[in-house]
């Protein structure tokens, strides 16, 4: 089977100069992971797009660790991929290590993670943007958003030029009033070497967005030649490599780039004492930073204080690329001053003589409360303004890409006067992500995706992302003919394999099969059992049946491991999947009870004032969404049911006619 190998190179464009009063359909502000997905999706759906960024050589730059995917995050990437997005293809094409996390755990919580060559990743995405005929890459700073009658009409650039447009997608990352901190040093910037977006932050405040302050951070970068790798634990990748994209095609079955190991080391008592001795000099603890950081990716100072009883913390030592001498010590993000950073690094096994090429820093930035958005990621009250990525209080490349894709899709659908694409919590992790943001907000820390956030995670596995979402991507025009053909072929092969397993029955005298079953730790097969029934045993999989000659090579030799995995998981977890489908149906019933846009919560008898205020602010689209708003009790949900029923009865009454 042949799949798409490269993004098209039919139309090469360099960064454009903006003429006076240029006009496009959509302006995407920021060319990070969210901006790229938004721009390419909207363009492929027919919009003319200007992708505006300060640095056109930094498209989809990996500002933090050079990795994509992981637990929960890999699910997001696979869903972006299934809808026709770019992240999975790029990650596979530029990967220097592939791993499947939680391989020995249940199918719902396994996650694919790749280490990418950071420079090649950005170059690949930059080439994909420039290859898109309807995307114009513009090197400029956006200073303002102009409105006419509460609708987007143009963006104004810092040099005074204007780009007229019908919609804007803001993907500003950490740049809104960004401030970089190293010890007691504080300088404006969105990331090292790049200026903060101050004028745009003031413009958003004038529009009336509720803004908050968050922080994130990054560790030092170390010189490979000065690391003692003999003192580190090697962490090789998986062989065969598990791909992030369902559409990646490797003719020889091998990744396109050479593969490198990562390594593991640990902090120790001496490291922790150095940190404690310098806490007052850390921007995080000195009071220089007001924003909250991510609880699940804290600075090393946070870890030492919060987990005082821990004797050590793991550091995942990651290469930045094949042609780079830099290594990323994942796990020791810090805003300590330079001398303290150098001392703590030198205290770690393998880093005793490590040279710091770039010191770590914390970055503090503005974000917009995502509860101001509707489920399409559009700002309520301003037509044509969408927000995606870290501006919504999230952290991570994957969360940003998922939001960017959805914002780009919905901007294009709005331009066609079509209903927005809203994925339910039972349909996608993307749906969980967006619903969490617009319903619950981000709380006191940046939002990060975990499998535990999805109540129906057995339905939302990595392996079935294409079955759930590829038909939507095709309908939107984001999946080309080659990818759709590949999807249909795989679906056909899976059905053929499943049919064989359901129809084939075991003989009572199959000694070879019984020997394999006993060896695997289970009892002999019962005569007349189907292969599906046999596979419901934990010890029995397709590989055992293949060794027993019950799954012949022909006609199944064309079936990829990906398809075999899908079929095996569907069979083994069938009973649990059926239960979650029933749960999903109950959830869908609540989601189907839509709340009118003009609903007056003050008119609902018995509703407490606190519930009225929360519902009026959130404007939930359904009773299901209302029930997920923090502080909305089952009693309040019941009152909503009663009020809606009464409203429907009144609407159904025949009206008296006057004569």
Domains in the chain (CATH in brackets) are: 22-212+366-475 (3.50.50.60), 221-364 (2.40.30.260), 495-578 (1.10.10.1800), 592-652 (1.10.150.570)
**Is 424 in contact with 431 (CB distance < 8 Å)?**
yes
Give the mean model confidence (pLDDT) for residues 585-590.
Answer: 84
Give the mean model confidence (pLDDT) for residues 565-579.
Answer: 93
Check whether 659 has a pLDDT greater than 90.
no
Q: What's the CA gap between 427 and 456, in Å, rounded?
A: 9
DSSP character for 338? H
Q: What's the CA gap between 551 and 497, in Å, rounded?
A: 9
The reported pLDDT for the residue numbered 2 is: 32
With pLDDT > 70 as the criterion, what percentage of the chain qualifies?
A: 93
Handedness of CA 517, 523, 529, 533 (dihedral sign): negative
Q: Across 15-19, 44-48, 550-554, which has the greatest mean pLDDT? A: 44-48
- pLDDT tens across 514-528, in order? 999 999 999 999 889
Give the mean model confidence (pLDDT) for residues 533-548.
Answer: 93
Residues in the chain, total: 659
The reported pLDDT for the residue numbered 7 is: 42
The reported pLDDT for the residue numbered 360 is: 94
pTM for the whole structure? 0.91
CB within 8 Å of 652: residues ≥ 6 apart: none
- pLDDT tens across 427-478, in order? 999 999 999 999 999 977 899 999 989 989 999 999 999 999 999 999 999 9
Check whether 282 has a pLDDT greater than 50.
yes
Lowest mean pLDDT segment, chosen from 198-202, 246-250, 326-330: 246-250
Give the mean model confidence (pLDDT) for residues 405-423.
Answer: 97
* Structure-derived torsion over alpha carbons of residues 590, 628, 430, 33, reported in degrees to the nearest 10: 150
Lowest mean pLDDT segment, chosen from 447-456, 561-570, 615-624: 615-624
Check whether 557 has a pLDDT greater than 70.
no
User: How far lies 199's CA from each of 138, 142, 195, 209, in Å?
Assistant: 18, 8, 11, 14
Per-residue pLDDT band at 73 (split at 50, 70, 90) = very high
The reported pLDDT for the residue numbered 559 is: 63
Helix axis angle, 561-572 relative to 481-503, nearest 10°?
Answer: 50
Q: pLDDT: is 608 or 651 the higher one?
A: 608
**Is 34 in contact with 514 (CB distance < 8 Å)?**
no
Residue with tokens 């080309």: 480
- Residue 490, token pair as written in the block: 């795989």
Q: What's the CA gap between 249 and 562, in Å, rounded?
A: 12
Give the mean model confidence (pLDDT) for residues 264-288.
Answer: 89
Report the mean per-residue pLDDT for the chain.
91
Per-residue pLDDT band at 10 (split at 50, 70, 90) = very low
Check whether 619 has a pLDDT greater than 60.
yes
Q: Across 105-109, 192-196, 256-260, 597-601, which has the greatest mean pLDDT? A: 256-260
> What does the DSSP assignment read for 516-533?
HHHHHTSPPPPTT-BHHH
Check whether 243 has a pLDDT greater than 70.
yes
User: Taking Cα atoms as reference points, which of 449, 441, 368, 369 lies closest to residue 402?
Assistant: 449
Give the mean model confidence (pLDDT) for residues 88-94.
Answer: 98
Check whether 573 has a pLDDT greater than 70.
yes
Q: What's the CA gap between 51 and 163, in Å, rounded?
A: 11
Residue with tokens 């997905």: 37
Q: What's the CA gap between 469 and 465, in Å, rounded?
A: 6
Helix axis angle, 73-82 relative to 429-440, nearest 10°?
Answer: 110
Give the mean model confidence (pLDDT) for residues 241-257.
Answer: 92
Check whether 38 has a pLDDT greater than 70.
yes
- pLDDT tens across 635-648, in order? 888 888 888 888 88
The reported pLDDT for the residue numbered 655 is: 63
Q: What's the CA gap between 319 and 228, in Å, rounded?
A: 14
With pLDDT > 90 as the criterion, what percentage of the chain qualifies?
A: 73
Give the mean model confidence (pLDDT) for residues 230-237.
Answer: 97
The reported pLDDT for the residue numbered 120 is: 98
The reported pLDDT for the residue numbered 394 is: 96
The reported pLDDT for the residue numbered 8 is: 41
Element (H, E) at 585: helix 574-591
């Amino acid at each position: 089977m042949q799949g798409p190998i490269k993004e098209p190179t039919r139309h090469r464009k360099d960064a454009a100069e903006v003429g006076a009063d240029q006009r496009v359909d959509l302006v995407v502000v920021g060319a990070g992971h969210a901006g790229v997905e938004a721009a390419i999706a909207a363009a492929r759906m027919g919009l003319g797009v200007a992708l505006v960024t300060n640095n056109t050589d930094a498209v989809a730059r990996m500002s933090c660790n050079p990795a994509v995917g992981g637990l929960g995050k890999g699910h997001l990437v696979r869903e972006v991929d299934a809808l026709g997005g770019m992240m999975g293809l790029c990650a596979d094409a530029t990967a220097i290590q592939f791993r499947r996390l939680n391989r020995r755990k249940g199918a719902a919580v396994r996650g694919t993670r790749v280490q990418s060559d950071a420079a090649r990743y950005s170059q690949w995405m930059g080439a994909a943007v420039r290859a898109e005929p309807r995307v114009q890459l513009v090197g400029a700073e956006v200073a303002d958003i102009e409105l006419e009658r509460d609708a987007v009409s143009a963006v104004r650039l810092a040099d005074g030029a204007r780009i007229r447009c019908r919609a804007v997608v803001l993907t500003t990352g950490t740049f809104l009033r960004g401030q970089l901190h190293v010890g007691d040093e504080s300088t404006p910037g969105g990331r090292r070497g790049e200026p903060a977006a101050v004028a745009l932050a003031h413009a958003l405040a004038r529009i009336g967005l509720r803004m908050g302050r968050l922080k994130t951070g990054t560790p030092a970068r170390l010189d490979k030649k000065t690391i003692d790798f003999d003192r580190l634990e090697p962490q090789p990748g998986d062989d065969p490599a598990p791909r992030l994209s369902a559409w990646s095609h490797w003719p020889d079955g091998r990744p396109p780039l050479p593969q490198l190991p990562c390594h593991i080391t640990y902090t120790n008592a001496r490291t922790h004492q150095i940190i404690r001795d310098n806490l007052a000099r850390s921007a995080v603890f000195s009071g220089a930073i007001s924003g909250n950081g991510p609880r699940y990716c804290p600075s090393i100072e946070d870890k030492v204080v919060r987990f005082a009883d821990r004797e050590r913390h793991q550091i995942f030592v990651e290469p930045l690329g094949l042609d780079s001498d830099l290594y990323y010590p994942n796990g020791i993000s810090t805003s300590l001053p330079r001398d303290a950073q150098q001392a703590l690094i030198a205290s770690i096994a393998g880093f005793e003589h490590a040279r710091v090429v770039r010191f770590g820093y914390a970055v503090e930035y503005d974000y917009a409360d995502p509860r101001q958005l509707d489920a399409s990621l559009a700002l309520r009250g301003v037509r044509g303004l969408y927000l995606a990525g870290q501006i919504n209080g999230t952290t991570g490349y994957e969360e940003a890409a998922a939001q960017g894709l959805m914002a780009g899709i919905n901007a294009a659908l709005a331009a066609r006067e079509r209903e927005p694409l809203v994925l339910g919590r039972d349909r996608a992790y993307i749906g969980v992500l967006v619903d969490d943001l617009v319903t619950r907000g981000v709380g006191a820390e940046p939002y990060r995706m975990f499998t535990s956030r999805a109540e129906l995670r057995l339905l939302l596995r990595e392996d079935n992302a294409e079955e759930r979402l590829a038909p939507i991507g095709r309908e939107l025009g984001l999946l080309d003919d080659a990818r759709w053909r590949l999807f249909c072929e795989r679906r056909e092969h899976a059905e053929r394999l499943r049919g064989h397993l359901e129809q084939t029955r075991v003989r009572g005298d199959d000694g070879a099969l019984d020997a394999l079953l006993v060896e695997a730790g289970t009892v002999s097969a019962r005569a007349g059992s189907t292969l599906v029934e046999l596979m419901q045993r934990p010890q029995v999989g397709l590989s055992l049946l293949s060794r027993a000659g019950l799954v012949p090579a022909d006609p199944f030799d064309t079936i990829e491991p990906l398809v075999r995995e899908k079929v095996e998981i569907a069979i083994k977890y069938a009973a649990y999947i059926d239960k979650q489908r029933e749960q999903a149906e109950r959830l869908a019933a609540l989601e189907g009870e839509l709340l009118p846009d003009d609903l007056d919560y003050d008119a609902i008898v018995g509703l407490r004032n606190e519930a009225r205020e929360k519902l009026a602010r959130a404007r939930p689209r359904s009773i299901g969404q209302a029930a997920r708003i923090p502080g909305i009790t089952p009693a309040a949900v019941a009152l909503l049911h009663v009020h809606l029923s009464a409203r429907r009865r009144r609407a159904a009454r025949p009206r008296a006619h006057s004569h």
